[in-house]
Chain A
Amino acid sequence: DVKVTQSSRYLVKRTGEKVFLECVQDMDHENMFWYRQDPGLGLRLIYFSYDVKMKEKGDIPEGYSVSREKKERFSLILESASTNQTSMYLCASRGVVLTEAFFGQGTRLTVV
C-alpha cells in the first residue's frame, strides 16, 4: 500500500519559532510537493522538488524554505513562524510520468 507520511497531525508553535514539517514517501517518487490549504483558497503550492537537492518555488514561497537531502524525504521549514502561517499543510509525491499524486494526511499547524 503506497504511503505518504507526515510526521505530525497537529502542531502548536509560538510566533518566531523555527518549525520543521517532515514528509516521507515509500514509492520511490522523484517529485514531492508542499501545499497549503486554507478555507476558500483551495490548495496552494508552496514549494516542490523534482530530484534530490533540487527545489522550485511555487505560488506562495515567502516565509518558507525546503530541504530534500534524500529521495524519500521532503521537509518544509518555517524560518520564523507567524500567525498568518496557521494552516493545514499537505505533502504529496508523484512519479516522473503524468500519473496520480499521493497525499499525506496533512499537518494542522497553529501558530500562537
Chain B
Amino acid sequence: GENVEQHPSTLSVQEGDSAVIKCTYSDSASNYFPWYKQELGKGPQLIIDIRSNVGEKKDQRIAVTLNKTAKHFSLHITETQPEDSAVYFCAAIALAGTALIFGKGTTLSVSS
C-alpha cells in the first residue's frame, strides 16, 4: 500500500521568511496530493492540492510542486505570518475509492 514520508517534523521560522515542507510517496499510481492545515483544537482543513497531471500550483502565498519521477511533492509558504503557525499534513491517494494516506505532520512555528 501507499506510504507517505514527511519532513521536517518541526519547523521554526521568523515572520516574513519562507517555509518548505517536503513529502515523498511510494505508490507510483498515486495521482492526487492534498495538503491540510490543522489549527489547535480543530480538524484538518484543505489548503491546497495538486493532481498528477500538473507540476506546480499556486494560491497567493502558498504553492505546491510535484515531481512524479522522483515521487516528491512539496509545500512552499512565502512571507510567513504568525497565523500560519499550525500542523501541516501532506497526503496521497491512488484511486477515488480508497482513503487518503497521510504523512506524520509538520509543526510550523512562525515567530514575530
Taking Cβ atoms with an 8 Å cutoff, the residues of A that contact B are 4, 31, 33, 35, 40-45, 48, 50, 56, 58-59, 90, 92, 94, 96-98, 100-101, 103-106
Is A104 a contact partner of B43 (Cβ separation < 8 A)? Answer: yes
Please, which residues of chain A bring their CB within 8 A of the CB of B44?
43, 90, 103
B6 contacts across to A, CB distance below 8 A? 42
Given A103-B44, A105-B42, CB of A40 within 8 Å of CB of B9: yes
Can you report 23 A-B residue pairs in the complex whose CB atoms are below 8 A from each other? A4-B43, A31-B97, A31-B99, A33-B100, A40-B104, A42-B105, A43-B102, A45-B100, A56-B99, A58-B99, A90-B43, A96-B96, A97-B96, A98-B51, A98-B93, A100-B49, A101-B46, A101-B100, A103-B36, A105-B41, A105-B42, A105-B43, A106-B42
Residues of chain B with a CB closer than 8 A to A101's CB: 34, 46, 100
Q: A40-B104, A43-B89 are in contact. Are A50 and B46 (CB under 8 A)?
A: no
Number of contacts between A and B (CB, 8 Å)? 58
Residue ID in chain B nearest A90 by CB atoms:
B43
| Interface residues, chain B, with chain A CB atoms under 8 Å away | 1, 6, 9, 31-32, 34, 36, 41-46, 49, 51, 89, 93, 96-105
Q: In the bound complex, do residue B99 and residue A103 qualify as a contact, i.e. CB atoms below 8 Å apart?
A: no
CB < 8 Å: which of B36, B45, B96, B105 contacts A98? B96
Q: Shortest CB–CB separation between residue B99 and chain A, in angstroms?
A: 5
Nearest first, the 8 closest Cβ-Cβ pairs linking A and B are A103-B43, A42-B104, A43-B102, A98-B32, A100-B46, A48-B99, A42-B105, A105-B43
- Nearest CB in chain A to that of B106: its residue: A42
The 8 Å CB contact of B97, one of A50, A90, A103, is: A50
CB nearest neighbor in B for A35: B102
* B58 CB, min distance to chain A CBs, angstroms: 18
Q: How far is the CB of A12 from chain B (nearest CB, A)?
A: 17
On whether A42 and B34 interact (CB within 8 A), knowing A103-B45, A105-B43, the answer reads no
